[in-house]
Amino acid sequence: MELLQDKNYFLTRHELRSQRVQPIQAVMEQLNVKRSQLKIIMAARKSGLGKDERLKTLQCAFDDGAFCSTVIEILSEEMPLMNMDMEDCWDDYGNYQLAINPDSFSTWNFDDADSQLSSVGDTMPWFSLTAFLLLLNVPFMDSDLPGYWENSIDNFGWPFEEPVELDYSIPIDEKFLKRYLRKRHLPELYAAVEQAFFPPDNVFLNSNMDDPDSVYFEFNEENLKLLRRDWKKAKPYLEQFGIASEMVANDPGLLRILYDGLKKSQLSSVKKSRVRVRV
């Protein structure tokens, strides 16, 4: 009792309460949080991210939560991510999920394309190239397609009097098309076509919100390295697409050159296949 009398009443009460047995559910939740934080910390360090000076502060050294939040902030500056709030990005097994947010051609699904092309008069000029590639690439209803073409031709000033199309049974000769556009000083248009018709094997150029597996990645060393590597490769493609979009917005006549190149590249593909058959 003498010991208790020497202490502040509220301090003693706090100490006694802290010694109470906590509910097992609360203890498990705390353990799961620590386990998940440890996985993030280990993955970040093994992937090389731990070398960032922002993770070497005293706060990050003594506060696992601060370390993990800083890791997400760093990654969000490096690449396009949807998730910044760490409270809402866990799977059913307690694993933190990184959700990428790419702005590539592959992210367009049928509903998105249909919605934009049905009200194309409300879109900005930079959408012209995307609309053209969507109309060549997305299988719309036959009854809607002529109207979409007509509206886009009128709205963007495309150099066509009627809809144009490609024969999807004939592959595009990629090398021919690349040379064709480079000779005309339009390599940016090839980068745009590449995303639309034959994108490289890259998670940021092949993701789609309709396919969660292409967007959500468990936070581990392997996925961190994959995402950081692929983003460095994807970024130039996306930048080229943006430049190409501005070029077409300023000069819609470029779409005639692009379409002619696509058709000729298919002819080149047919010629090569005939040569191989003869041999």
**What local confidence, expressed as pLDDT, does residue 129 receive?**
96
**What local confidence, expressed as pLDDT, does residue 7 receive?**
54
Among 63, 78, 93, residue at a domain's last position? 78
**What local confidence, expressed as pLDDT, does residue 81 receive?**
87
Whether 98 maps to a domain, the answer reads no
**What local confidence, expressed as pLDDT, does residue 48 receive?**
87
Whether 186 maps to a domain, the answer reads yes
Quote the domain boundaries for residue 196. Answer: 105-278
Do 109 and 74 lie in one domain? The reply is no
Nearest to 268 by CA among 166, 198, 176, 164: 176
CA distances from 151 to 51, 60, 120, 162 (A): 53, 55, 7, 11
**What local confidence, expressed as pLDDT, does residue 279 receive?**
38
Nearest to 217 by CA among 49, 83, 54, 41: 83
The Cα–Cα gap between 218 and 94 comes to: 10
**What local confidence, expressed as pLDDT, does residue 278 receive?**
46
Do 214 and 270 lie in one domain? The reply is yes
Do 66 and 172 lie in one domain? The reply is no
Do 116 and 71 lie in one domain? The reply is no
Whether 213 maps to a domain, the answer reads yes
Low-confidence ranges of the chain (pLDDT < 70): 1-33, 83-94, 139-144, 275-279
Domain count, the chain: 2
Do 249 and 121 lie in one domain? The reply is yes
What pairing do the DSSP bridges indicate for beta strands 97-99 and 216-218?
antiparallel
Neighbouring-strand partners of residue 217: 98
